[in-house]
């Protein structure tokens, strides 16, 4: 089965990336959601750079260096990684930011260079990264090993949900905003702000939806 066929069969309607309000502005300004590696190269984004965490394990010396994993955008299928969202929210607890979720067309998973990670890309050495149909299929296998002694089972999870809620789509370098379909926010004021930014960057086709439940994910 092709990736496009699997997307349709499983009823996958979106690929997600949560970010701050500053991250939303930066994405719209750059015309793409950029990898962490590319962010410092965008001079226009320097004043809005506000990453989700101070560091990523991918930057450590003993991390798998077969690819520059910092040059990939980390996304989730159907629901956000709630565990990482909770961590990021605590890290920014006392700052003047708010959160949004960028929802992209699942067709981006069919693009060249995309890898699929069975769990959080930081969980070495048990995270399996693979491209193509087999890589996507691994995300929905019966059991996924996260870390030593920590395995998650598929059980009754819906077809559009990965077995591990921390599974990732790793997109090379930049996800073009032409594939952005909607932005989820928590309240009306955030919706108004996001709509204003979309109008400013002539992206009125993107919907802004108030949906607090979307920030809950499907933790397992």
Residue 135 predicted with pLDDT over 70: yes
Domain assignment of residue 156, given as a range: 3-215
Residue 58 predicted with pLDDT over 60: no
Query: Which residue is it, tokens 């995300």?
Result: 139
Confidence of residue 24 (pLDDT cuts 50, 70, 90): very high
User: Is 220 contained in some domain?
Assistant: no
Residue 18 predicted with pLDDT over 90: yes
User: Is 211 contained in some domain?
Assistant: yes
Residue 216 predicted with pLDDT over 80: yes
Task: Give residue 108's pLDDT.
Answer: 98
Task: Give residue 44's pLDDT.
Answer: 46
User: Is 21 contained in some domain?
Assistant: yes
Residue 2 predicted with pLDDT over 50: yes
Confidence of residue 42 (pLDDT cuts 50, 70, 90): low
CB 21: neighbour CB atoms within 10 A? 19
User: Is 131 contained in some domain?
Assistant: yes
Tell me the DSSP string of 82-120: HHHHHHHHHHTTTSS--EEEEEE-GGGGGSTT-EEESS-
Averaged pLDDT score across all residues of the chain:
88
User: Is 94 contained in some domain?
Assistant: yes
Condensed to tens digits (0 to 9), the pLDDT of residues 148-198 reads 889 999 999 999 999 999 999 999 999 999 999 999 999 999 999 999 999
Counting other chains too, the contacts that 3-7 makes at CB distance below 8 Å and 24 or more residues apart are 3/109, 3/110, 3/132, 3/133, 3/136, 4/107, 4/110, 6/133, 6/136, 6/137, 7/106, 7/107, 7/109, 7/110
Q: How many domains does the chain have?
A: 1
Confidence of residue 67 (pLDDT cuts 50, 70, 90): low
User: Is 189 contained in some domain?
Assistant: yes
User: Is 182 contained in some domain?
Assistant: yes
Tell me the DSSP string of 139-171: TTSSEEEEETTEEEE-TT--TTS-SSTT-EEEE
């Amino acid at each position: 089965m092709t990736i496009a066929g699997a997307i349709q069969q499983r009823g996958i309607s979106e690929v997600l990336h949560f970010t701050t309000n500053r991250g939303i502005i930066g994405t719209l300004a750059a015309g793409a959601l950029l990898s962490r590696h590319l962010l410092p190269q965008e001079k226009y984004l320097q004043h809005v750079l506000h990453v989700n965490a101070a560091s990523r394990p991918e930057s450590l010396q003993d991390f798998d260096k077969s690819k520059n994993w910092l040059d990939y955008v980390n996304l989730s299928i159907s629901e956000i990684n709630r565990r990482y969202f909770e961590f990021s929210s605590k890290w920014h607890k006392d700052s003047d930011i708010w959160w949004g979720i960028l929802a992209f067309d699942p067709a981006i998973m069919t693009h060249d260079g995309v890898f699929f990670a069975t769990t959080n890309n930081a969980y070495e050495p048990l995270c399996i990264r693979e491209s193509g149909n087999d890589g996507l299929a691994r995300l929905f296998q019966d059991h996924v090993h996260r870390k030593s002694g920590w395995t998650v089972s598929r059980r009754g999870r819906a077809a559009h949900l990965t077995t591990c809620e921390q599974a990732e789509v790793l997109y090379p370098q930049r996800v073009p905003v032409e594939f952005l379909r909607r932005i989820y926010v928590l309240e009306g004021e955030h919706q108004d702000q996001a709509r204003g930014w979309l109008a400013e960057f002539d992206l009125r086709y993107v919907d802004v939806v108030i949906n607090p439940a979307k920030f809950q994910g499907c933790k397992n």
